[in-house]
Structure 1
Amino acid sequence: MRTKLLYQEDSYLKESEATVLEISGNEVVLDKTVFHDGAGGVAADSGYIVYGGERYSATASHKGGEVVHVLDRAPSFKPGDVVVGVVDWDKRYRKMRLHTAAHILSAVLYNRHGALITGGDITHEYARDDFNVEGDMATVRRIFEEAVAEVNEIAARGIEVKVYWLPREEALKIPGVVKLAERMPPDIPTLRIVEIPGVDIQADGGPHVRNTKEIGTVKILKVENRGKGKKRLYYTVE
């Protein structure tokens, strides 16, 4: 990948200058970006690209191993030009809050029930996760309600969220560093680690808040039975 992912170093960057590397129609590749491309189940960022007096609506995407910025029209700028990428911060920040909450939730369910995530995604409005917990729906709802109550108690402690990189072999020796039932981290030599000390540690490439207090309060929206090994929880933050 040619694009430096600025949000992996600082998720609070709202905009950045970048040099245009490639253009194909209305799809633009930059040398660096504040836009998250939607990898890892977190919805891709939207925002706009500014060049001179022109502003283009933009949504990030992952295509052919590259982060691609899909514009609302073909741009007037060309490779080598310098543009400014600006992320829709309100949507991004809600996704950050939900993403960090999701890590705490997965840790609580893993520690309490040995549950792994079998699917899920995060938008700026809500998150949904599937867990391989079993039981009748009354039992499953109770499990989720107890887990969310613990998530809220943990979030209220105001724990600093740490982000750092480790060699892949070293990272994969950490118990519970992967909580996805059917997917391993990408096959790269160094993994980005997101740690909530005393609570959770996971290999993860997406944006997060700096402190668990920023999450607010997690609220259950809906619980569904999606079949064996897939009990689905919809939740949001307030």
Structure 2
Amino acid sequence: MSDEENAEHSTDQIYLRDAYQQTVEATVVAVRDDAVALDHTVFYATGGGQPHDTGTLADQGGNTWQVHNVRKEGDLIWHWVDGQPSPEGTAVSGTVDWERRLQLMRTHTALHILCGVIWNEWGVLVTGGNMEPLAARMDFEFSPLPEGFAARVTELVNAEIAADRPIEVSFLERAVALADPELIRTKVNLIPEWVTDIRVVDIVGLDRQADGGTHVASTGAVGRFEITKTESKGKGNKRVRMVLHDA
């Protein structure tokens, strides 16, 4: 499908509004050799340090494909599958690997709690980060780390988890969102210029920032937070590595 034809289609990213929806009924709107784009999806596309979802697509003829990669290109979400994909116009059912998704949701929320705690305690910005299910790293503009940092942060983060704070999602016009400097917690604004409505994730009473990832409904669902290592990545850049436990 050409770029001009692609422009006629877009994918409704259901996870931006409801991270707990696990299945979707959709139609194939574009096809490549090993990937399909859908008109609706519950599969998160890699971005913002959060990796893509995995899962399955199935058509009404009994064919099933494993989804092993998901990427956003323009207005379309592409789903890479094993085997020859269904042709354009095919109705398919999609199901996310829920265990993986939930672990990523817990991890992403833990990183926002970590950001909130560090911002409120020291007013320090994020310089980078990445995550996998139940483990992550995040870099902060510290030079050096404060004395007793790991123990203090661990105590504060787990206290916020125990507080079971609700997490709310809303959307703001770009100009309104960017007028609030506290919504951007990264040293560099990573929101693409073409994004007109900015999604805001609010851990009520702790942390409110622009974000496109998936999150649990309240901090109590995160689990127990542990810092496994702190590292220096140069002047003004310190790395925090963390894991989550179920209890």
Partners of 1:145 and 1:53 lie apart in 2 by 53
Matched AA of 2:114: L
Q: 2 CA distance for matches of 1:134 and 1:201?
A: 25
Determine if contact 2:43/2:53 at 8 Å carries over to the other structure: yes
The Cα RMSD (Å) is 1.6
Aligned to 2:12: 4
In structure 2, give the amino acid aligned to 1:121.
N
CA distance in 2, matches of 1:201, 1:128: 20
- Whichever residue aligns with residue 82 of structure 1, its letter is A
One-letter code aligned to 1:73: G
Aligned-residue offset at 1:64: 3.2
State which of 90, 101, 106 in structure 1 corresponds to 2:110: 101
- Displacement of 1:43: 0.9
Are 1:113 and 1:133, in contact at CA under 8 Å, matched by a contact in 2?
A: no
Q: Choose which of 47, 54, 60 in structure 2 pairs with 1:39.
A: 47
CA distance in 2, matches of 1:229, 1:78: 51
Q: Is the 8 A contact 1:36 1:60 kept in 2?
A: no
Letter in 2 for 1:8: L
Name the counterpart of 2:174. 168
In the aligned structure 2, how far is the partner of 1:211 from the partner of 1:63? 27
Structure 2: how far apart are the matches of 1:85 and 1:21? 14
Secondary structure of 2:48's counterpart equals helix
Unaligned runs of at least 5 residues, structure 1: none
Counterpart code for 2:88: P
Alignment correspondent of 1:153: 159
Return the alpha-carbon distance in structure 2 between the equivalents of residues 223 and 47 of structure 1: 34
5+ residue gaps, structure 2, are: 1-8
Deviations 1:8-31 (A, max 9, x none): 111001111111001110111001
Q: What is the one-letter code of the residue matched to 1:64?
A: E
The 3-state SS of whatever aligns with 2:156 is helix
Alpha-carbon distance between aligned partners in 2 of 1:103 and 1:71, rounded to the nearest angstrom: 31
1:118 and 1:161 map into 2 onto residues whose CA distance is 24
Q: Which residue of 2 aligns with 1:205?
A: 212
2:80: which partner in 1?
70
Distance apart, 1:7 and its partner CA: 0.6
Aligned to 2:183: 177
- Cα offset, 1:101, TM superposition: 1.1
Q: Which amino acid aligns with 2:104?
A: K
Code of the aligned partner of 1:20: V
| Residue 175 of structure 1: how far off its partner (Å) | 4.0
In 1, distance between residues paired with 2:169 and 2:69?
Answer: 23
TM-score by length of 1: 0.93
Task: State how far apart, in whole Å, the 1-side matches of 2:172 and 2:215 are.
Answer: 18
Q: Does 1:89 align with 2:98?
A: yes
Do the aligned partners of residues 43 and 206 (structure 1) sit closer, same or farther apart at CA in structure 2, a change above 3 Å counting?
Answer: same
- Cα deviation for residue 206 of structure 1 reads 0.9
CA distance in structure 1 between the aligned counterparts of 2:83 and 2:155, rounded to whole angstroms:
46
**Is residue 118–residue 229 contact of structure 1 (8 Å, CA) maintained in 2?**
no
User: Out of 124, 128, 142, which is 1:133 matched to?
Assistant: 142
Give the CA deviation at 1:73: 1.5
Match of 2:132 among 108, 112, 123: 123
Distance in 2 between residues matched to 1:142 and 1:88, nearest whole Å: 39
- In structure 2, C-alpha distance between the alignment counterparts of 1:141 and 1:39, rounded to whole Å: 33
Kindly indicate whether the alpha-carbon contact (under 8 Å) linking 1:98 and 1:237 is maintained by their aligned counterparts in 2: yes
How far apart are the structure 2 equivalents of 1:18 and 1:60? 18
Q: 1:86 to 1:141 in 2, by over 3 A?
A: farther
Identical-pair percentage: 35
